[in-house]
Structure 1
Amino acid sequence: MSSDPWGRVDESGTVYVRTADGEKVVGSWQAGSPDEALAYFERKYDGLVVEIGLLERRVRTTDLSAKDANAALEHLREQVDAHHAVGDLDALRQRLDKLAETVAERREERKARKARQSEEARKAKEDLVTEAEQLAQSDQWRVAGERLRALVETWKGLPRLDRKSDDELWHRFSHARSAFSKRRKAHFAKLDAQREEVRQRKEKLVAEAEALSGSRDWGPTAAKYRELMREWKAAGRAQREHEDDLWNRFRGAQDVFFQARGEVFAERDAEQRENLARKEEIAAEAEKLLPITDLKSARSAFRSLNERWDAIGHVPRDARPKVEGRMQTVERAIQEAEEAEWRRTNPEARARAAGLTGQLQDAVDKLRGQVEQARAAGNTAKAEKLERELEGRQALLDQALKGLEEFGG
């Protein structure tokens, strides 16, 4: 018979293992010596130790599922409980019990983590749905569209929830995207219709502009082009593929007209500048008549100058007030001289002026005598009142005398 601390072999070749519950039969060994029997079953024990160690490492260092870990544990426990090995089987059971506790803890941790991740995913998806529903009402078509596409990619990266919750949230999310797409499609369809109306309107404006390009009625046609330009700006924009072509045709028609007008105006401006030089020479001749000393000669000379002036034609608009003002100054001087001559040679006017002067002189003389009498009588207040009246009459007399002088005396 042979034995060691954990097992023995009896005379019949039966192998026993010692446990806390007493000896258990391991098996029967007839192939060799008892020591060989013990050695064989000890190797069996060592194999169990290795397998348990590997399972402990897998549980500790990998994402081995609780289901797979428990299956492996059950398999090892069955082997230990079968008592087909010699060694400290109770220690192995303790290790398996402890490992089972670890697997259970890991399972609860994973369950809690999964619940936490699921709640985070639910919150994230609810936030995506809320944002998508807000974007569904946006009119920022490009920005909102790009953001919705980004939200879809974010959704794809999130874990699934329970089927009911996930389907409900996805339905809301999908509905928001569809609502936005529908609104955007309607908007651009309306915009396309509006731009088609604009294109048709601008086609008409182009046709009008091209029809006017050969006109030589400069003023009215230029005004019409300005009106067409206002209508063009107010019409809005046509489709991109038509807008540039329409504008080039519209602008080209205007260019034809305004280039022709510019050439004509350039010739006219040159002629008007020449006319201005000639009128400035006439104005200088007229100014030599000032001051008027010989009315008859001045009148005759100015008439001749005016005839030459009228025969010349237009000058540049911005120069017209100045050069015409010079001639008008001379003309006013002649008119004033004529009026003065008429007053001087009009007998009736001279008689009226002389009569008025005599009346005023008498009144002045009378008032002056009354002032002297009042002062002599010591009536200062009356004298001052009469003096103020005398001053007024004296001013009228001075003015009348001046007018009488214009009649030669």
Structure 2
Amino acid sequence: MSSDPWGRVDETGTVYVRTADGEQVVGSWQAGSPDEALAYFERKYEGLVVEIGLLEKRVKTTDLSSKDAQTAIGHLREQIDAHHAVGDLDALRKRLDKLVELVEARREERKAQRAKQSDEARHAKEALVVEAEELAQSDQWRAAGERLRSLVDTWKGLPRLDRKSDDELWHRFSHARSAFSKRRKQHFAQLDAQREEARRTKERLVAEAESLSGSTDWGPTAARYRELMSEWKAAGRAQREHEDDLWNRFRGAQDVFFAARSSVFAERDAEQAENLKLKEELAGEAEKLLPVTDLKAARAAFRAINERWEAIGHVPRDARPKVEGRMHTVERALQEAEEAEWRRTNPEARARAAGLTGQLQAAVDKLKGQIEQARAQGNTAKAEKLGRELEGRQALLDQALKGLQEFGG
């Protein structure tokens, strides 16, 4: 009979293993010696030890699922309970019991981790939904659209929740995206309609601008071009593929008109500059007629100068007041000379002046006599009053005498 601390072989070749519950039959061995029998079943035990060690390592270091771990533990426990190995089977059972506890702990840990991840995913998806619903009201079409696409990618990278919660959040998220897309589509449809209206308006403006490009009615046409430009700006932008072409035609028509106007104005300005030079020479010639010594000759000379003046034509607007003012000064001097001559030679005016002078002279002489009489009577107050009246009559007389002298009288 052969034995070791954990098993033995009896005379019949039956192999036993010692356990806490007593000896258990391992099997029967007839092919060799008892030592070979024990060695064989001890190798079976070592195999179990190796399998349990490997399973312990997998549970601790890999993501082996609890279900798969429990299945493997059950398979090993069946082998141990079958008592087909010689060794400390109770120690192996204890290791499996601890391994069960470890698997359960890992299962709870993973459950808690999944719950945490699920909670984080829920909060993350709720945040995405809230942001998407805010973006759904945005008018920043490009930026909001790009952000919504980014949110979709973020959503896809998050773990799924329970079906009900995930579906509810996705419904809100999808609805926000659809609402934004609908608003954006409406906006651009309206924008397209506005741009089409702008295109039709600008086509009309271009047609009128091109019809005016050959006009020589410079002032009214330039004013109309300014009005057309205001209407152009108020019309808004047409579609991109039409806007540049319409603008080039519109601007080109204006350029044709204003280039022609500039050419004409340049010629006119040169002509008017020459006219100004000629009129300045005539103004200088007229100014030499002053002071007037021979009214008849001066008037004839001025009339001849003025005829040449009228034949010259326009001068630059800003120079006109000064040069015309010089001519008007000479003309006024001639008029004043004529009026003075008329007063001097007018018989009726001379008679009226002489009559007025005689009346004033008589009044002055009478006042002088009255003053002398008042003084002789000692009436100083009356004399002073009459003296003040005399001063006024004397001033009028002096003025009348001066006027009479102008008549040569």
TM-score range, shorter chain: 0.7 to 0.9
- Tell me what 1:216 maps to: 216
Deviates more, 1:141-150 or 1:259-268: 259-268
Distance 1:39 1:352 in 2: 179
Distance 1:27 1:394 in 2: 175
Distance 1:165 1:144 in 2: 26
Would you identify which runs of 4 or more consecutive aligned residues in structure 1 move more than 6 Å? 355-366, 392-400
Contact 1:353–1:404 under 8 Å retained in 2? no
Cα deviations across residues 179-222 of structure 1 (Å, max 9, x unaligned)?
21112112211221222122112212222122222222222222
- Tell me what 2:48 maps to: 48
Q: Pairwise CA RMSD of aligned residues?
A: 3.3
Percentage of pairs with the same residue: 76
Distance 1:169 1:398 in 2: 114
- Tell me what 2:247 maps to: 247
3-state DSSP of counterpart to 1:41: helix
- Rate the CA distance shift 1:268–1:339 in 2: closer, same or farther, 3 A: same
- Rate the CA distance shift 1:403–1:344 in 2: closer, same or farther, 3 A: farther
Paired amino acid for 1:3: S
Q: Shift of the alpha carbon at 1:359?
A: 10
1:51-62 equivalences in 2 (<5 Å): 51-62=51-62
- Tell me what 1:312 maps to: 312
Distance 1:169 1:401 in 2: 116
Contact 1:363–1:393 under 8 Å retained in 2? no
Please tell me whether residue 347 in structure 1 is matched to residue 350 in structure 2: yes
- Stretches of structure 2 lacking an aligned partner (at least 5 in a row): none
Cα deviations across residues 153-181 of structure 1 (Å, max 9, x unaligned)?
11111111111111111111111111211
Aligned length: 394
- Rate the CA distance shift 1:397–1:15 in 2: closer, same or farther, 3 A: farther
Cα deviations across residues 372-400 of structure 1 (Å, max 9, x unaligned)?
9xxxx9x9xxxxxx9xx97x997998798
Distance 2:202 2:366 in 1: 86
- The alignment's TM-score, normalised by the length of structure 1, stands at 0.85
- Stretches of structure 1 lacking an aligned partner (at least 5 in a row): 380-385
Cα deviations across residues 43-96 of structure 1 (Å, max 9, x unaligned)?
111111111111111111111111111111111122222222122222222211
Cα deviations across residues 212-271 of structure 1 (Å, max 9, x unaligned)?
222222222222222222211211111111111111222222222222222222222221
Distance 2:153 2:366 in 1: 114
Distance 2:64 2:392 in 1: 130
Contact 1:340–1:406 under 8 Å retained in 2? no
3-state DSSP of counterpart to 2:87: coil
- Tell me what 1:113 maps to: 113
Distance 1:47 1:363 in 2: 172
3-state DSSP of counterpart to 2:26: strand
1:145-156 equivalences in 2 (<5 Å): 145-156=145-156
Q: Shift of the alpha carbon at 1:302?
A: 2.5
- Tell me what 2:202 maps to: 202
1:398-409 equivalences in 2 (<5 Å): 405=402, 408=405
Paired amino acid for 1:170: W
Distance 2:126 2:188 in 1: 30
Paired amino acid for 2:43: R
Contact 1:357–1:401 under 8 Å retained in 2? no
